[in-house]
């Protein structure tokens, strides 16, 4: 029988790594809450239509990367490749349009069938925020500021740089589309088959192509910034002015685009040079056309998502581990009496590791292996007298105390030794 392994592109998150992840998500939650955002959780899978309608049949995500299957009723279901569409669907499904503006944040796994590599897995995890119902540039500034503050809270903002661009409004995008199509058709002989298919339906998606031949052509494509109308230019200037007022440094990257139809105005990414090819750690943009595309009322939206795997690779984190108290019963009488004692200690807030088996020596080895601060030794003599032996595992000092005083005494002793490793 072959050795069992996780499915390719997935991995187990063991306790030490999960402590690191929890630190990342808790810090992001703290910042999001300061900005008035509330946590939301949507299902890990949705009707496939939710993503097909929003991402489009010709996008790489839909055509190559989605985990789509039929359930037992024959309904097409997809594991979420991203969560913005799920949050938008939740707004429509729950009739929340009357409560705008809404501020949501979320955390959870996403799924894409891609070639696994460092910083990119088939099951990956994201923390994200969505601001719905705010069409003003101030919303863009708030969202970008929230991202910057989250990175600052993790002490990695200095490892990243913010790149921003304007995708313009619908009118600007239509003007740019004409110019872009003309340019791409002039090079159609060198485009990939998939990009040729996109040329008539959504040429902006060619700019997102990962194919080498397409990337070379896109390199010299006209910039959308050259075709922005007055309203779009003013909108972008206000976003930049807001960032300037907050002291958030940024670089305008005219090549930064979003190929999906519902994106408009501001697109942004916080990128780093510390993670190799997968340098984007937090990315987002404005998507004013998304809810309307999904069948809801026209609603402004802007948000971002950050990869937990990539964030945790950047942070310098040393977990604070609580050192437990080991309770070591020896003999049948102590075994019978130990559970109420352990339960009372835990109810009083003490972390307790119970020695389950073995003689005194083996159970004490277990106490040292879990880095316990004290061992509470219960032998038959102690139980008969209503006492216990408390041994300081750092110094070896020990004392006999009454069992009824255990909680009080241990709570006094633990702060004195600094109950962390």
The answer, yes or no, to whether the previous bond of 101 is cis (omega within 30 of 0) is yes
Residue 270 per-residue DSSP state? E
Asked if 257 and 165 count as a contact pair (C-beta separation under 8 A), the reply is yes
CA–CA separation, 136 vs 63, rounded Å? 34
Q: Positive or negative CA dihedral for 410, 414, 420, 421?
A: negative
Residue 314's SS3 state is helix
CA–CA separation, 79 vs 112, rounded Å? 8
Torsion from C-alpha of 324, 325, 331, 332, nearest 10 degrees: -80
Model confidence over 45-55: pLDDT tens digits?
999 999 887 77
**Residue range 208-232: average pLDDT?**
89
CA–CA separation, 387 vs 379, rounded Å? 9
Q: What is the pLDDT of residue 257?
A: 84
Q: Positive or negative CA dihedral for 132, 34, 107, 82?
A: positive
Q: Where are the beta strands (DSSP E) in 210-313?
A: 251-252, 264-272, 280-286, 301-307
Model confidence over 310-333: pLDDT tens digits?
999 999 988 778 899 999 999 888
Cα→Cα distances 240→53, 171, 249, 303, 382, Å: 32, 21, 10, 17, 72
Cα→Cα distances 135→138, 173, 264, 319, 398, Å: 8, 18, 11, 41, 67
Q: What is the pLDDT of residue 63?
A: 62
Confidence check: pLDDT of 157 > 70: yes
Radius of gyration (Cα) for the chain, nearest Å?
Answer: 28
Residue 24's SS3 state is helix
Q: What is the pLDDT of residue 271?
A: 96
Q: What is the pLDDT of residue 341?
A: 93
Homologous superfamily of 15-169+229-314 in CATH? Answer: Bira Bifunctional Protein; Domain 2 (3.30.930.10)
**Residue range 75-86: average pLDDT?**
95
Confidence check: pLDDT of 158 > 60: yes
Q: Positive or negative CA dihedral for 239, 245, 248, 252?
A: positive
Confidence check: pLDDT of 219 > 90: no
Asked if 121 and 11 count as a contact pair (C-beta separation under 8 A), the reply is yes
Per-residue tokens: 190: 């060198």
- Most confident region among 29-38, 201-210, 259-268, 403-412 by mean pLDDT: 29-38
Task: Show me where the domains of the chain are located.
Answer: 15-169+229-314, 325-417
> What is the pLDDT of the chain when averaged over all its residues?
90
| H or E stretch covering 47 | strand 45-47
Pick from 342, 327, 331: nearest CA to 373: 327
Q: What is the pLDDT of residue 57?
A: 56
Q: Which CATH number fits domain 325-417: 3.40.190.10, 1.20.120.530, 3.50.50.60, 3.40.50.800?
A: 3.40.50.800
CA–CA separation, 289 vs 296, rounded Å? 10
CA–CA separation, 410 vs 388, rounded Å? 12
Confidence check: pLDDT of 287 > 90: yes
Report angle CA 292, 308, 421 to the nearest 5 degrees.
150
Confidence check: pLDDT of 241 > 60: yes
Asked if 262 and 288 count as a contact pair (C-beta separation under 8 A), the reply is yes
Pick from 287, 297, 290: nearest CA to 266: 287
Which range (118-122, 182-186, 317-321) has the least confidence?
118-122
Q: What is the pLDDT of residue 1?
A: 45
CA–CA separation, 15 vs 146, rounded Å? 29
- Most confident region among 127-131, 180-184, 356-360 by mean pLDDT: 127-131
User: Which residue has better confidence, 331 or 59?
Assistant: 331
Pick from 408, 375, 381, 377: nearest CA to 393: 375
CA–CA separation, 128 vs 143, rounded Å? 11
Which range (77-91, 105-119, 375-389) has the least confidence?
105-119
Residue appearing with tokens 């702060």:
415
**Residue range 243-266: average pLDDT?**
90
Per-residue tokens: 390: 């408390």
The H helix count followed by the E strand count for the chain is 15, 16
Residue 131 per-residue DSSP state? E
Confidence check: pLDDT of 97 > 50: yes
**CB-based contacts of 2, cutoff 8 Å, min separation 6:** none
Confidence check: pLDDT of 118 > 90: no
Confidence check: pLDDT of 218 > 60: yes
Asked if 62 and 265 count as a contact pair (C-beta separation under 8 A), the reply is no
Residues shown for the chain: 421
Q: What is the pLDDT of residue 119?
A: 64
**Residue range 354-359: average pLDDT?**
86
Q: What is the pLDDT of residue 195?
A: 85
């Amino acid at each position: 029988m072959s050795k069992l392994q996780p499915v390719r592109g997935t991995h187990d998150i063991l306790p030490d790594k999960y402590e690191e992840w929890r630190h990342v998500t808790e810090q992001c939650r703290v910042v999001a809450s300061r900005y008035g955002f509330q946590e939301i959780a949507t299902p890990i899978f949705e009707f496939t239509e939710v993503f097909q309608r929003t991402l489009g049949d010709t996008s790489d995500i839909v055509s190559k990367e989605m985990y789509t299957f039929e359930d037992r009723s024959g309904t097409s279901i997809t594991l979420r490749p991203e969560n913005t569409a799920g949050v938008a669907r939740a707004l429509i499904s729950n009739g929340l349009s009357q409560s705008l503006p809404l501020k949501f944040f979320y955390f959870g796994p996403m799924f894409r069938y891609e070639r696994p590599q460092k910083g990119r897995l088939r099951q990956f995890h994201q923390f994200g925020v969505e601001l719905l119902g705010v069409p003003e540039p101030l919303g863009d500034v708030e969202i970008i500021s929230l991202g910057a503050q989250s990175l600052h809270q993790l002490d990695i903002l200095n490892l990243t740089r913010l790149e921003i661009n304007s995708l313009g409004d619908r009118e600007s995008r239509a003007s740019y589309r004409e110019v872009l199509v003309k340019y791409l058709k002039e090079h159609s002989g060198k485009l990939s088959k998939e990009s040729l298919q996109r040329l008539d339906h959504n040429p902006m998606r060619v700019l997102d192509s990962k194919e080498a031949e397409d990337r070379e052509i896109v390199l010299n494509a006209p910039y959308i910034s050259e075709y922005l109308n007055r309203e779009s230019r003013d909108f972008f200037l206000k976003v930049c002015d807001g960032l300037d007022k907050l002291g958030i440094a940024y670089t305008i990257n005219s090549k930064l685009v979003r190929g999906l139809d519902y994106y408009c105005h501001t697109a942004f990414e916080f990128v780093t040079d510390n993670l190799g090819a997968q340098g984007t750690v937090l990315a987002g943009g404005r998507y004013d056309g998304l809810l309307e595309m999904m069948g809801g009322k026209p609603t402004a939206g802007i948000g971002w998502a950050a990869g937990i795997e990539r964030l945790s690779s950047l942070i310098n984190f040393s977990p604070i581990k609580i050192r437990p108290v080991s309770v070591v019963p020896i003999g049948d009488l102590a075994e019978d009496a130990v559970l109420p004692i352990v339960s009372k200690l835990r109810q009083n807030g003490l972390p307790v590791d119970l020695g389950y088996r073995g003689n005194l020596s083996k159970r004490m080895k277990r106490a040292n292996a879990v880095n316990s601060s004290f061992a509470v030794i219960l032998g038959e003599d102690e139980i008969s007298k209503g006492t216990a032996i408390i041994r300081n595992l750092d110094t070896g000092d020990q004392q006999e105390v009454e069992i009824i005083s255990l909680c009080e005494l241990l709570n006094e002793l633990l702060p004195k030794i600094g109950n962390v490793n």
